[in-house]
Structure 1
Amino acid sequence: MDFVITGGAGFIGSHIAKHLVSTGHHVTIFDDLSNGKKDNLDSIINKIEFVNGDIRNFDLLKNTLKDTDGVFHEAALASVQESFSKQQEYHDVNVNGTENVLKLGKEFGFKIVYASSSSIYGNPAKIPIEEDDPKNPINPYAQTKLDDENLAIKYAQMGVRVIGLRYFNVFGERQSRAYAGVIKKFVKKVRNGEPPIINGDGQQTRDFVYVGDVVQANVLAMNSNVDHGFFNIGTNSTITVLELANLIIDSFGLSLKPIHGPELPGDVKITKADISRAKKLLNWEPKTRIEEWLKSTITTRTNLDLITD
Structure 2
Amino acid sequence: MRYLVTGGAGFIGSHLVRALLEKGHEVRVLDNFSTGKEENLAELSGRIDVIRGDVRSFADIERALEGVTFVFHQAAVGSVPRSIADPFDTQTANVNGTLNLLWKAKEFGVQRVVIAGSSSVYGDTPGMPRVETLLPSPLSPYALSKLSQELFGKIFSKTFGLETVTLRYFNIFGPRQDPRSEYAAVIPRFVRAILKKDAVTINGTGEQSRDFTFIDNVVQANLLAMETTRGIGEAVNIGCGSSFSILELVDHLSEILGVRPEVRHLPPRAGDPMASQADISKARDLLGYSPKVYFREGLERTARWFEEKFRRTGDL
TM-score band (shorter)? over 0.9
Partner of 1:220: 224
Report the identity percentage: 39
AA partner of residue 181 (structure 1)? A
Q: 1:194 Cα deviation (Å)?
A: 2.4
User: Which residue of 231, 248, 254 maps to 1:249?
Assistant: 254
Partner of 1:201: 205
State the SS of the aligned residue for 1:148: helix
Return the alpha-carbon distance in structure 2 between the equivalents of residues 306 and 138 of structure 1. Answer: 36
Partner of 1:72: 72
Q: 1:42 Cα deviation (Å)?
A: 1.7
- What pairs with 1:38-187 in structure 2 (closer than 5 Å)? 38-110=38-110, 111-157=112-158, 158-176=160-178, 181-187=185-191
Name which of structure 1's ranges 235-244 and 285-294 shifts more when overlaid on structure 2: 285-294
Q: TM-score, normalised by structure 1?
A: 0.94
User: Do 2:29 and 2:64's aligned partners in 1 also have CA atoms closer than 8 Å?
Assistant: no
State the SS of the aligned residue for 2:296: helix
AA partner of residue 41 (structure 2)? L
Q: 1:176 Cα deviation (Å)?
A: 3.1
Give unpaired runs (5+ residues) of structure 1.
Answer: none
AA partner of residue 116 (structure 1)? G
Partner of 1:290: 295
State the SS of the aligned residue for 1:71: strand
AA partner of residue 213 (structure 1)? N
Return the alpha-carbon distance in structure 2 between the equivalents of residues 296 and 152 of structure 1. Answer: 34
Return the alpha-carbon distance in structure 2 between the equivalents of residues 285 and 248 of structure 1. Answer: 25
AA partner of residue 185 (structure 1)? R
AA partner of residue 9 (structure 1)? A
Q: Tell me, yes or no, if structure 1 residue 304 matches structure 2 residue 303.
A: no
State the SS of the aligned residue for 1:146: helix
User: Do 1:124 and 1:271's aligned partners in 2 also have CA atoms closer than 8 Å?
Assistant: no
Return the alpha-carbon distance in structure 2 between the equivalents of residues 164 and 48 of structure 1. Answer: 25
> Number of matched residues?
307
Distance 1:150 1:228, change over 3 A: closer
* CA RMSD between the two structures: 1.8
User: Which residue of 236, 244, 250 maps to 1:231?
Assistant: 236
User: Do 2:177 and 2:188's aligned partners in 1 also have CA atoms closer than 8 Å?
Assistant: yes
State the SS of the aligned residue for 1:94: helix
Distance 1:305 1:76, change over 3 A: farther
AA partner of residue 278 (structure 2)? A
Q: 1:293 Cα deviation (Å)?
A: 2.7
Return the alpha-carbon distance in structure 2 between the equivalents of residues 198 and 85 of structure 1. Answer: 19
Output one character per residue of 1:256-309: Cα deviation in whole Å (capped at 9) or x when no partner.
3422121111111111000011111111111111222323554xx445355972
Give unpaired runs (5+ residues) of structure 2.
Answer: none
State the SS of the aligned residue for 2:45: helix
Partner of 1:22: 22
Partner of 2:273: 268
